[in-house]
Amino acid sequence: MDGSFQKSGLEALVDDRVDEGVFRVDRSIYTDQDIFEAEIERIFEKGWVYLCHESQVPEVNCYFATDIGRHPVVVVRQKDDSLSAFINVCSHRGALLTPKKQGKAATLTCRFHGWSYSCDGRCVRIKNEKEGFGEDGFDRSQYDLNPISKLASYRGFIFGSLVDDVEPIEEYLGAAATWIDLMVEQSPEGLEVVPGSSTYVIRGNWKMQLENSVDGYHVSTVHRVFASTVRNREERESLKGLKQTEGGRLVGIVPSGAYDLGNGHMSIWAQHTTPERRPIFKKKEWLEANLPAAHVEWILEKGRNLALFPNVMLMDNPSTQIRYVKPISADRAEVTVYCIAPVGEGAEARSARLRKFEDFYLTAGMATSDDMAALEDTMAGSFASQAQWSDFNRGLKTMTHGADEGAKAVGFDPVSSSESWENETLFFGFYRRWRDMMSASD
């Protein structure tokens, strides 16, 4: 594409002709830097994005620094326990305010010329103010921090928007809210992010990370080796703590499904062959006493991956994960993974959860590393403009419009349901949301 991005070209990039049996995207949406810049402006800076989990700002004055598009943003816990979020940039000459990613400070003091801001964003001190700005009538409040336009928490997951004109958070999440509920309601004391994290760079487009996290179709090829490694481990019986992992899910022989949840959100699930090996199974009795039977079944027996448009993925499988993606350029993104777990979980279950996480989910693990390699190959291939289309037609003929029985049982209402996680119809919703936001009038 020449010059700057043209909205009028968008219809041609998302070839949405489901009636004719076609849904495909032009691979330039992964490679074109002008499109990328437009995504930052029209998607990340004009709608809800995920910021952090409430356990990452546990006490008054705790902060967590992240980004919305090109804007550094800091989420701060206020004196009354509420949350605020500001552009994390000094009003004077623009230095970043927080020295660290996460911390605690009663005031944020800029380390360049020493201006200070209270945790509610007021500019409370300007170094040598009188000498520089005179004695009378100087109004420091003109230098207060810029709050972001919208901040909302859904059951502990915190989202923000740089613009006012967004739907209420419940409406934005829509059917995806039930998938968050299924994670949160496992723990009466709530969830917490476990200390430690890993950030890795993918040499690929950020949308490919979203796609990969809810692509069940690659599992029986890319993760075949994970399954065979685990089988080999179990045969060796040399690892007491780790030997009980899930093999069956990974070879494509279990019931599964996929949902286009609407608003760009997507999800997949697959039946656990051995649910009793999951850390949460220790709480079976509590779950049965406190939750509807259909929820208990979904929680205990279905491994679930949820991708929330545009930048976060929540996984509840043998281990549990928040995966956050930060777009850097068309062909680069930073991904940070956190383990999220029930507060007050027993030591044995917590340790098992961590070991399963490390086994699978990290770039130093035995599955995510293979995902990354496949993703980076897909990126390399996407530059071939004479092989233009990425195809998402699998399952198009068999999909159910609206909810299937499983969705009805727990009460969420997807745009479409698919009876196999190998089907690709869930991506329709992602790319329709993408197209709609990219072509919205200003």
Partner 1 sequence: MDIDTNLKREVAELINWETTLLDRREWDDWIDLFAEDAVYWVPSWVDEEHTVTDPETQLNLMYFQNRGGIEDRVFRIESRDSYASLPLDRTVHIVSNILVAGVDDEEISATANCLVHSFGKQGGQTRASLYDFKFRKNDAGLKIILKKITLIDDKLEGPVDVYHL
Q: Which residues bind partner 1 (CB under 8 A)?
A: 100-103, 194-201, 203, 222, 224-226, 228-229, 232-233, 236, 238-239, 241-242, 334, 338-339, 347, 350-351, 354-355, 357-358, 362-366, 369-374, 376-377
Most distant pair of Cα atoms in the chain: their distance: 80
- Which residue lies nearer to Fe ion by CB, 213 or 263? 213
The DSSP symbol for 96 reads B
CA distance 2 to 325: 28
Give the range of 76-84, 109-117, 154-162, 329-337 binding ligand FES by CB under 6 A: 109-117
**Contact flag: residue 93 with ligand FES (CB under 6 A):** yes
Binding string, 204-233, against Fe ion, x = CB under 5 A?
------------------------------
Give the range of 89-97, 131-139, 177-185, 392-400 binding ligand FES by CB under 6 A: 89-97
Let me know the angle formed at the C-alpha of 217 by 236 and 11, rounded to the nearest 5 degrees.
155
- Which residue among 13, 29, 65, 110 contacts ligand FES (CB under 6 A)? 110
Let me know the angle formed at the C-alpha of 121 by 80 and 196, rounded to the nearest 5 degrees.
75
CA distance 190 to 293: 20
- Which residue among 36, 48, 50, 115 contacts ligand FES (CB under 6 A)? 115
> From edge to edge, which strands make up the β-sheet containing 389-391?
14-17, 22-26, 389-391
Q: Nearest CA to 341 among 282, 412, 391?
A: 282
Please spell the DSSP secondary structure of 284-345, one letter per residue: HHHHHHHS-HHHHHHHHHEEEEEEETTTEEEEESSSEEEEEEEEEETTEEEEEEEEEEETT-
CA distance 124 to 147: 16
- Which residue among 73, 74, 90, 306 contacts ligand FES (CB under 6 A)? 90
Contacted by 236, from ligand FES, Fe ion, partner 1, none: CB < 5 to 8 Å by type: partner 1
CA distance 403 to 409: 10
Contacted by 110, from ligand FES, partner 1, Fe ion, none: CB < 5 to 8 Å by type: ligand FES
- Which residue among 1, 18, 95, 293 contacts ligand FES (CB under 6 A)? 95
- Which residue lies nearer to partner 1 by CB, 295 or 326? 326
CA distance 146 to 161: 13
**Contact flag: residue 112 with ligand FES (CB under 6 A):** yes
**Contact flag: residue 371 with Fe ion (CB under 5 A):** yes
Q: Residues 204, 363: contact at Cβ < 8 Å?
A: no
- Which residue lies nearer to ligand FES by CB, 73 or 83? 73
Q: Which residues bind Fe ion (CB under 5 A)?
A: 371
Residues making contact with ligand FES (CB under 6 A): 90, 92-93, 95, 110, 112-115
